Amino acid sequence: MKKSLLILVVIVTLNQSLSAQEDRITNKLFYTELGGPGVIMSANFDARFTSNERLGLGFRLGAGFGVGDFEDEINQGGNHDYVTRTYYSIPTGLNYVFGKPNSAKTFEVGGGVSFLTRKVSLYHYDVKKEGHIIGFFTFMYRVMPVNGGFSFRIGLTPIIGTAGDLYPMGAVGFGYAF
C-alpha cells in the first residue's frame, strides 16, 4: 500500500511538472548564423525584453568572425603586400518579432551595429574608408517552437559598410529555443 501511494505521488508530481513545462513561454534563443552581421559566422543570443512574451521587442548579442586582406605590417621598400587575416565581430541589435502568439512561425525586423576588432573595409571598393563599426538591418523568417526546441531562421541582413554604402547580404541560422 505504501509503495503504490509513493508511486501515485511520483506520477502526479511528474505530470504536474510536465504540464508546467508545456505552459511555459519560450522567448530565448541561442543560434549560430552563417552570413549576416557576424560577417562570416557568429554565435548569438536572442531574447524578448518582456519575460512572458514570445513576440515583441527584444535584442540580440553575439560573437562572430570575418576574414579580410590587410596591408602587411612588415612593408619593405614601399611594396604593398597584403595578408589575409581573421578579425572578430560583436553584433548587437534590437529587433521586433511579429506573428501569432501560439504559432511557431514568426517574422523579425531589426537593426544594430557590429563592432570589429580590426579596422576593415568589407568590400574591395570600400577601401577608402576603413572602420571598426558596421551597421545592419534584419528581415528574418523564424521558426521557433512554442514550447522550445530546434529553431531555424533565414532572411536578408543588409549591411551598412564602413563607407556608408548599403550592401545586400543574407543569413541563415540554426539554434535552440528555450
Whole-number pLDDT of residue 106: 96
21-50 pLDDT, tens digit each: 455 678 999 999 999 999 899 999 999 999
> Which pLDDT score is estimated for 19?
46
How many whole angstroms separate alpha carbon 117 and alpha carbon 38? Answer: 12
pLDDT for position 135: 93
Sign of dihedral through CA atoms 101, 107, 113, 115?
A: positive
Residues 32 and 25 sit within 8 Å (Cβ to Cβ)? no
- Asked if residue 91 lies in contact with residue 36, where contact means CB atoms within 8 angstroms, the answer is yes
Which 8-state DSSP code applies to residue 77? T
DSSP 34: E
Contact (Cβ atoms closer than 8 angstroms) between residue 121 and residue 127: yes
Number of H helices, E strands in the chain: 1, 10
Quote the CA–CA distance of 145 and 107 in Å, as a whole number: 13
C-beta atoms surrounding 90 within 10 Å: 16
Determine if the pTM surpasses 0.85. Answer: no
Q: In this structure, which topology does domain 2-177 adopt according to CATH?
A: Porin (2.40.160)
pLDDT tens profile 111-143: 999 998 887 766 655 555 667 888 999 999 999
Q: Are 124 and 99 in contact (CB under 8 A)?
A: no
d(CA 89, CA 115): 5
pLDDT of residue 23: 59
Q: Phi first, then psi: what are they for 50, rounded to 5°?
A: -90, 120
